[in-house]
Amino acid sequence: MTPTLLAVAHGSADPAAAVVTRELLEAVRARRPGLEVREAYLDHTTPSLTEALGALSGPAVVVPLLLGHAYHSRVDIPAALPAAAHHVVQADVLGPDDLLVTALERRLTGAGVAPGDPATAVVLAAAGSSDGEAVAEVRAMAARWRDSGWADVIAAFGSAAEPTVASAVRALRASGAPRVAVSAYLLFPGRFATTITADAAAEGSDVTAAPLGAAPEVAELVLRRFDAATNAASG
C-alpha cells in the first residue's frame, strides 16, 4: 500500500503562506497523479499535524516543508508522530540540496537577474535560527552557490544569527559589488519574507527575489524526500 504524503509546513499568520503551500502541493500532485497528498501545519493554520495524523486511514510519510535541520524537524514533528493510529515515518527536510540552488536562480531570473551574473553579488537571506547546524547549512548553501559565477554569495539571517540582511547588503556594497541581489531562502511568504524585503530595500539592494514557493524544483524535492523515506521504511 502506497503511503500518504503528509506535508507539514511551519504555518504563518499571513494567509498567503497557506495559499502558496497549497499551490506547492498541487504541483506535487501534478507530478505524481494518484498519490494521496495532504497538508498539515505546526502553527497558525489548520489542520495541525496532530489533527492530520489522526485523520489518516493508513500509513503515511511526513515530509517537512522546511529548509533546514532545526527544532521543528528534530523535536516538534517527531513528538507528534506517536499520535498517529497508523504506521508513520518522517522524511528528511528539503535542504540543503542542489535543486534548491536551481530554484533560487529561477526566482532571481524572474526578478530580472541573469543566473551567475559576474557583476551581481547575492545575499542568501534565510529566516535564521539559534541552532548552529541550521545556520551552518545556510552558509554551506551560500558557499555551494558561490561557485556558479556570481561576484559573491553570502548568507544572512532575518533573526537569531549574523550577519543580518541589512549588514550583508552593506558589506557587499562596501566591497565594490556593482549590483546586489537578495535571494529569499524561504519557502513561503510571511513575517520573515516581509522583514527581509524591507531590510534589503532600506539598504538599497537592487532586487529582492520572492520565496521559493511552488517552484517545480521544490515540488520535485518533496517527492524525492517522500520516495527516500518510503524506500527506507520498506527496505
Per residue in 105-143, pLDDT tens? Answer: 999 999 999 999 999 999 999 998 888 888 999 999 999
Is-contact 113 184, C-beta < 8 A? no
Asked whether residue 179 carries a pLDDT value surpassing 80, the answer given is yes
Mean pLDDT of the chain: 94
Q: How far apart are CA 59 and CA 82, in angstroms?
A: 13
Q: Which helix (H) or strand (E) holds 30?
A: helix 15-31
> What pLDDT does 6 receive?
98
pLDDT band at 234 (very low <50, low <70, confident <90, very high): confident
> What pLDDT does 182 receive?
97
Q: What CATH number does domain 98-209 carry, 2.40.40.20, 3.40.640.10, 1.10.150.120, 3.40.50.1400? A: 3.40.50.1400
| Cα 196 to Cα 24, 123, 201, 206, 235, distances in angstroms | 22, 10, 8, 13, 43
3-class DSSP assignment, residue 45:
coil
Q: What's the grid cell of residue 198?
A: 524591507
> What are the backbone angles phi and psi of residue 123, rounded to the nearest 5°?
-100, 115
> What pLDDT does 71 receive?
76
Span 16-38, mean pLDDT?
A: 97
pLDDT band at 163 (very low <50, low <70, confident <90, very high): very high
Reported as a single tens digit per residue, the pLDDT across 56-112 is 999 999 999 999 888 788 889 999 999 888 999 999 999 999 999 999 999 999 999
Is-contact 159 138, C-beta < 8 A? no
pLDDT band at 186 (very low <50, low <70, confident <90, very high): very high
Span 159-188, mean pLDDT?
A: 94
Asked whether residue 156 carries a pLDDT value surpassing 90, the answer given is yes
Asked whether residue 235 carries a pLDDT value surpassing 80, the answer given is no
Fold designation for 4-94+214-234: Rossmann fold (3.40.50)
**Percentage of residues in the chain having pLDDT higher than 90:** 86
Question: Which residue ranges does the chain devote to CATH 3.40.50.1400?
Answer: 4-94+214-234, 98-209
**Percentage of residues in the chain having pLDDT higher than 70:** 100
Is-contact 217 24, C-beta < 8 A? no
3-class DSSP assignment, residue 56:
coil
| Cα 103 to Cα 83, 131, 161, 187, 213, distances in angstroms | 34, 24, 24, 10, 9
> What pLDDT does 41 receive?
97
Of 5-9, 89-93, 181-185, 194-198, the one with minimum mean pLDDT is 194-198
Is-contact 215 106, C-beta < 8 A? yes
Bridge partners, 183 (sequence order): 124, 209
Contact residues for 229 (Cβ-Cβ < 8 A; gap 6+): 61, 63, 89, 90, 91, 92
> What pLDDT does 17 receive?
95
- Report which DSSP code applies to 92: P
> What pLDDT does 177 receive?
94
Which residue in this structure is represented by grid cell 503528509? 6
Which string of b and e fits 156-169 if b means at least 16 CB within 10 Å?
bbbeebeebbbebb
> What pLDDT does 85 receive?
84
